[in-house]
A = this chain, B = another copy of it.
C-alpha cells in the first residue's frame, strides 16, 4: 500500500487521473497537477499559507457575478491572459496584427453604423477620427470586413458603467472596397481595474498602481481570415509600459495626427490591421477566447475603484 512523500504524491495523482478518456483533458490536468505541485514544493507551502490561498480563491469566486468577472481579472493581472494571447498569435499561419485583451466590456448590442459615424453620444470632449485599412498580411484590402469598436468615455468609463440600458462608445462598421474603416469618437481615458475586491487587494499588497493606459478595443472579422481581437493604445499615456494587465504593447501604440487630407487640422488616429488567413484549426475553434457574447454575459466587470 502507498506511503506519500513530497516526491511520490504527484505520480499517485497522475496515476489516478490516468483513465481520463478525453486526451486533451488528460494532458491539461496532468500538466496542471505537475506544475501546481512543483510550485508548492518550490516555496514549501505551509498549511497556514495553503489555507490563505483557499480563502483568497473563494473570495475571488464570490466576487464573480453576472456583472463582474474577478477570475478573468486575476488572470489578467497575473499576465496569464496576455500569455494565452501571445501563444494564440504564435499559432497563426501568417504574422498578423497582434492580439490584445478582449476585456470584459465587449457587448453584442453595439449599433451598426456607417463609415464616418460617431460612436460617442453626449460626450462633450473633442472629437477625433479613427481610420485605417483592414488587409491580409500582404497588404491586400479586405472589403466588407466587420470592425467592432468599443472604448470608454472621455472620462474613463464604459457605457455599462454609466448607463447599462444605453449602448454608447461602441459601434459595428464595415470596410469599404479599399478595405477602409472610418469612425468618429472621443479620446478614451485610462482607468483603474476594480480595486474593491480580492484582486485589487492583491495588486495593492504588491504596490502596483492598478491602472490601465487609455485604449480602444477592436474585434475584426472577415470570411476566411482568423478573427482578430485587439486594442490600440494612445501614445503618451504614462502607463503604456506598466499596464496592470499587460495589454499595452509597442506594436499597438497609436500616435495622434492632424494631417488628415479631408479634415486638415482635426485630430486623427490611423491604424492598419493585418489579418492572417484562417487555419483549419481556426475554423474549428472560432473566435479568440470563444464566444464574446458568452464572455459578455458571464464575465463582465462593472465595479471600479
Contact = CB atoms under 8 A, between A and B. Distances in A.
Interface of A: 1-6, 9-10, 12-13, 16-17, 19-22, 24-29, 31-52, 54-55, 57-58, 60-62, 64, 69, 71-72, 75, 78-88, 90-91, 202, 205-208, 240-242, 244, 246, 248-251, 253, 285-286, 288-290, 294-295, 298-299
Given A2-B241, A250-B3, A42 B47 contact: no
Contacts of A37: 79-80, 83
Copies of this chain per assembly: 2
28 contacts: A1-B249, A1-B250, A2-B249, A3-B249, A4-B86, A6-B83, A6-B86, A9-B83, A16-B206, A16-B208, A16-B242, A16-B244, A20-B206, A27-B43, A32-B39, A32-B78, A33-B78, A34-B39, A35-B39, A37-B79, A40-B80, A44-B91, A47-B288, A50-B75, A50-B84, A54-B72, A55-B298, A57-B71
A89 to B, nearest CB: 9
Given A61-B71, A206-B19, A246 B4 contact: yes
Contacts of A55: 298
Contact of A78 (B13, B45, B84): B13
A91 B79 CA distance: 33
A61 B57 contact: yes
A49 B75 CA distance: 13
A149 to B, nearest CB: 20
Nearest to A28: B43
B87 A10 contact: no
A54 B86 contact: no
A19 B207 contact: yes
Main secondary structure of the interface of A (DSSP, over half): helix
A64 B90 CA distance: 37
Contact of A47 (B58, B88, B90): B88
A95 to B, nearest CB: 12
Contacts of A249: 1-4
A261 to B, nearest CB: 29
Nearest to A281: B46
Nearest to A233: B1
A50 B82 CA distance: 11
Contact of A285 (B21, B29, B48, B91): B48
Contact of A87 (B17, B41, B83, B295): B41
A54 B71 contact: yes
B79 A10 contact: yes
Contact of A36 (B78, B205, B250, B285): B78
Contacts of A32: 39, 78
Nearest to A102: B47
B48 A10 contact: no
A70 to B, nearest CB: 8
